[in-house]
Structure 1
Amino acid sequence: MIDLMLAKDMNAVAELWAPDGIAEFPFAAGSSPRVLRGRDEVRAYLAHYPDLMDMKEVAALTVRPTDQADTVVVEWTATGLTVATSRPYRLDYIVVLTVRDGLIALYRDYWSPLSAAAASGGLAGLIDSFEGRNT
């Protein structure tokens, strides 16, 4: 999946999901979705990612097995450039990943909405969304 993200092939990334696979973002804030249900929602969510964030490298990657054979915990750090500002970013992720029949059944991504908003230049808008203001 990371190789496909670095290649900016978001359609191929979405194909890694089971047709009924779920992506959850427990810390999502503002207008970001908390749950995506099914491959098609994942595909739509990822479609414009390369227009926002130009991921250049995975600076760190650790995969930790769990006591469930189909589930791992993945810690990774992405670095790159924010497309709108051309500013560098570094974002850390912790993902709990469960596979079924070789496809992603559950992808629970614990990313920081504050770090992502700061990297993309959208921190003011995120703060406004917390306070109930529209920008």
Structure 2
Amino acid sequence: MTPRELVDHALEMLLAKDMAAFSRLFAEDGVVEFPFAPPGYPPRVEGGAAITAYMSGYPGLLDIREFPEQTVHQSTDPDVVIAEFEAAGFVVATGKPYRMRYVAVLTVRDGRIHHYRDYWNPLAAAEAMGGARELNTAFGGDGGE
């Protein structure tokens, strides 16, 4: 798959709530980074098994129904794309609407994601999830303590 096709496929897997298939898009030594991670939230997830574990509970937390806006930019490096997208759905635990814009920088080699840098707004996510503690706990953090 090209990097663009991989982004499209990844978003399809998130909509299908197929976290196993989503996780298989990553290389065994893949890395996910969250440069804006708040205190208590994991800033980095390394390796295929860790990424699978991190993503496994996602459908029980967020019910993403659509990606109403999607743009993928090809960088000057053919292995790197920048994906801008908006996710819309609701928070499973509260039923509150969830709408979040993301910017992700992906490095893709041999049809798999080797590096995924996810720029998201932790303040908006915490508000949707019911607070910073709930956000951190839901995604494997320590609750901010």
The two structures have a TM-score, normalised by structure 2, of 0.84
Cα–Cα, structure 1 residues 133 and 61, in superposed 2: closer, same or farther, change >3 Å?
A: closer
Q: Does 1:59 align with 2:62?
A: no
Answer yes or no: is the 8 Å Cα contact 2:27–2:112 preserved in 1: yes
Give the paired residue count: 128
- What are structure 1's unaligned runs of at least 5 residues? 127-131
Helix, strand or coil: the match of 1:30? coil
Q: What do the CA deviations read for 1:78-104 (whole angstroms, capped 9, x no partner)?
A: 000110111111001000001011000
Q: 1:7 aligns with which of 16, 40, 55?
A: 16
Q: 2: CA distance between counterparts of 1:56 and 1:79?
A: 6
Q: 2: CA distance between counterparts of 1:116 and 1:133?
A: 14
Answer yes or no: is the 8 Å Cα contact 2:86–2:101 preserved in 1: yes
- The match for 1:100 is 109
CA RMSD of aligned residues (A): 1.6
Q: 1:49 aligns with which of 49, 58, 75?
A: 58
- Give aligned-pair identity as a percent: 46
- What are structure 2's unaligned runs of at least 5 residues? 1-9, 135-142
Q: What do the CA deviations read for 1:102-125 (whole angstroms, capped 9, x no partner)?
A: 0000000001111111111124x3
Q: What do the CA deviations read for 1:41-96 (whole angstroms, capped 9, x no partner)?
A: 11010011111110010010000110000000000000001101111110010000
The two structures have a TM-score, normalised by structure 1, of 0.90
Q: 2: CA distance between counterparts of 1:118 and 1:50?
A: 18
Q: Does 1:122 align with 2:110?
A: no
